[in-house]
Amino acid sequence: MDTALTQLQETSPALHLGTAPLHIKGILAATDFSSQATLAVKIAARLAKQLESKFYVLHTILPQLYAPGVGVVSPVLYELDTKQAQEELRKYAGKIPEVRTLRHEEVVLVGPPAEAMLDLVQTRSIDLAVVGSQGRTGLQKLVLGSNAEAVIRHLHCPILVVGPRCVRRYGPLHSIVFATDLPFGSLRAAQHAMSIAQATGSSITLVHVLPKSSSKEEDYELEMTRATEQLHQLVPNDPQIASHVRFEVLVGDRSERILESAKRHKAGLIVMGVREHGVLADHAPWATLSEVIRKAHCPVLAVRPHLV
């Protein structure tokens, strides 16, 4: 059996995710003014408008050493650099209609991008951070530089990554694919996927991929039945939500099947739960996340497993 698919929309009598919808109060988009970062800012601003979230645009600068060999930064030049960066960010934001017409705050911080984002998330009510990715061979080449992997791995809030193949034309969010490997850690990702779907009025497809094996067909059917029941448990027992939910259990390569599902349903967002360990570009499940981000034509929301 190469690929198996089940789409069930009836309500399961099993237990369901019982948490209240999450409200994303603040969204942070980091930019280095590159084209991919700008696309990420636009997408983030659109999402902030749909979710009625406060929007933050962050630009970081690195302090220059004005006394070579001593490591001293001139306070005067430091202030001038900061003011210049603030003016550049103001002009930049003013040229982006999605940002200009949205309630937002422009922030310039000095230091590595990862540290600046961590600082801002901790000091503001930020529930979602957004970055752009240019890398086609892994996530090492995110537009924020080598520190971007640290952002994805260590920020407690979910990270929305706008990958290199994200389409330039985009609009309001209408369709979401939530890909899950069904451990306990899926609950927080499910919270965010369901909350965004509910807030935006989007349909949502829950996808679980079974690995290929030499199992008999009846064994696959049993696994698919169990997986479908578990997928049902990730959906709040709300008739309004249930009417917009699909369930798919597929067989094969995980990243390929997720991407196929996103294409099939014209998804504007893919949501994935990610585990605490692993190196982003080299080890599963980070390898799956990396592959999906590189090839997806829509943003990918990576959600760490701890519940909120």
Tell whether 124 is covered by a domain: yes
Render pLDDT for 140-191 as a digit per residue (tens, 0 to 9).
444 433 445 666 767 889 999 998 898 766 678 899 999 998 866 688 899 9
- Do 45 and 120 have their domain in common? yes
- The CATH number for 119's domain is 3.40.50.620
Query: Which residue range is the domain that position 77 belongs to?
Result: 26-162
Render pLDDT for 109-152 as a digit per residue (tens, 0 to 9).
988 887 888 899 989 989 999 988 775 544 444 443 344 566 67
Tell whether 11 is covered by a domain: no
Render pLDDT for 1-10 as a digit per residue (tens, 0 to 9).
444 444 444 4
Last residue of a domain, one of 120, 139, 162: 162
Q: How many Cβ atoms from other residues are within 10 Å of residue 125's Cβ?
A: 11
Q: Taking the mean position of all CA atoms in its chain, how far away is CA 17?
A: 21
Confidence label for 94 from pLDDT (cuts 50, 70 and 90): very high
- Do 235 and 280 have their domain in common? yes
- The total domain count for the chain is 2
Tell whether 204 is covered by a domain: yes
Confidence label for 237 from pLDDT (cuts 50, 70 and 90): confident
Tell whether 285 is covered by a domain: yes
Q: Quote the pLDDT of residue 77.
A: 74
- Do 187 and 299 have their domain in common? yes
The per-residue pLDDT of the chain, averaged, comes to 81
Tell whether 12 is covered by a domain: no
Does this model's pTM top 0.75? My answer is: yes
Torsion of CA 165, 167, 172, 178, to 10 degrees: -30
Tokens found for residue 276: 């605490």
Tell whether 167 is covered by a domain: no
Tell whether 16 is covered by a domain: no
Distance, in Å, from the CA atom of 268 to the CA atom of 203, rounded to the nearest integer, reads: 10
Q: Quote the pLDDT of residue 133.
A: 78
Cβ-contact 8, 224 below 8 angstroms: no
Q: Quote the pLDDT of residue 1.
A: 43
